[in-house]
Amino acid sequence: MKSADLFRRLDRWIGIPLCMLFSILTPFKRCWLTIFPKKNITAQKILVIKLVELGAVVHAYPFFKKIQEEFPLAEIHILTFAKNREIFELFKSSVPTARIITIREDGLFPMAVDLIRALWIMSCLKVDMTVDLEFFARASALLSFFSGAPKVVGFYAYGFEGLYRGNFLTHRVSYNPLVHTAVNYLSLADTLHAASKNSPEVDRFIDKSSLVFPEYHSEEKVRQSLIPLNIPQDKRLILMNTGEGNIPLREWPIINFKIVAEAILKDERNVLLLVGTKDACPKAEELINQFKHDRMLNFCGQTNLKQLLEIFLIGEALIANDGGLGHLAMLTPIKKYILYGPETPQVFSPLGPNTHVFYSNWPCSPCLSALNHRNSLCRDNKCLKAISPQEVIRAISQN
Is residue 332 included in any domain, yes or no? yes
Question: CA nearest 304: which of 90, 98, 91, 103?
Answer: 90
Query: What pLDDT score does 40 carry?
Result: 54
Residues 62 and 24 in one domain: yes
Instruction: Report if residue 81 sits inside a domain.
Output: yes
Q: How confident is the model at residue 33 (pLDDT cuts 50, 70, 90)?
A: low
Are 206 and 224 in a shared domain?
A: no
Distance CA 231, CA 166 (A): 51
Q: How confident is the model at residue 398 (pLDDT cuts 50, 70, 90)?
A: confident
The rounded distance, in Å, linking the Cα atoms of 132 and 143 is: 9
Task: Report the alpha-carbon distance of residue 84 to residue 86 in Å, rounded.
Answer: 6
Same domain, 94 and 158: yes
Confidence grade of residue 108 (pLDDT, cut at 50, 70, 90): confident
Last residue of a domain, one of 210, 240, 266: 210
Q: Do 65 and 163 share a structural domain?
A: yes
What confidence score (pLDDT) does residue 233 get?
Answer: 75
Asked, for residue 215, whether it belongs to a domain, the answer is no
pLDDT of residue 165: 85
pLDDT bin (cut points 50, 70, 90) of residue 1 is: very low
Query: For residue 5, is pLDDT > 90?
Result: no
pTM for the whole structure: 0.89
15 and 41 in a single domain? The answer is: yes
> Are residues 81 and 174 both part of a single domain?
yes
Q: Are residues 20 and 39 in the same domain?
A: yes
User: How large a percentage of the chain has pLDDT more than 90?
Assistant: 57
With a CB cutoff of 8 Å and minimum separation 6, the contacts of 112 are none
> Into how many domains does the chain fold?
2
Domain-embedded: residue 269: yes
43 in the same domain as 82: yes
pLDDT tens, position by position, 114-136: 999 999 999 999 999 999 999 88
Domain end (from 159, 188, 210): 210
> How many CB atoms are located within 10 Å of the residue 309 CB?
23
Domain span at residue 226?
A: 220-397
Is the pLDDT reported for residue 385 higher than 90? yes
200 and 229 housed in the same domain: no
User: In the listed set 210, 233, 262, which residue is the last one of a domain according to the structure?
Assistant: 210
Q: In terms of domains, do 224 and 368 share one?
A: yes
Q: How far apart are CA 149 and CA 341, in angstroms?
A: 39
Q: Are residues 204 and 226 located together in one domain of the fold?
A: no
**42 part of a folded domain:** yes
pLDDT at 161 over 70: no
CATH of residue 359's domain is 3.40.50.2000
Average pLDDT, rounded, for the chain: 88
Same domain? For 193 and 248 the reply is no
- For the chain, the farthest-separated pair of C-alpha atoms sits apart, in whole angstroms, at 74
- The distance of Cα 229 from the centroid of its chain, to the nearest Å, equals 28
Q: 71-105: string of b/e by CB count within 10 Å (b at 16+)?
A: beebebbbbbbbbbeebbebbeebbeeebbbbbeb
81 DSSP 8-state letter: E
- On the question of pLDDT at 280 being above 80, the answer is yes
pLDDT, tens digit, 9 for 90 and up, residues 183-200: 999 999 999 988 889 998
CB neighbour class for 399 (10 Å; exposed up to 12, middle 13-18, buried from 19): exposed
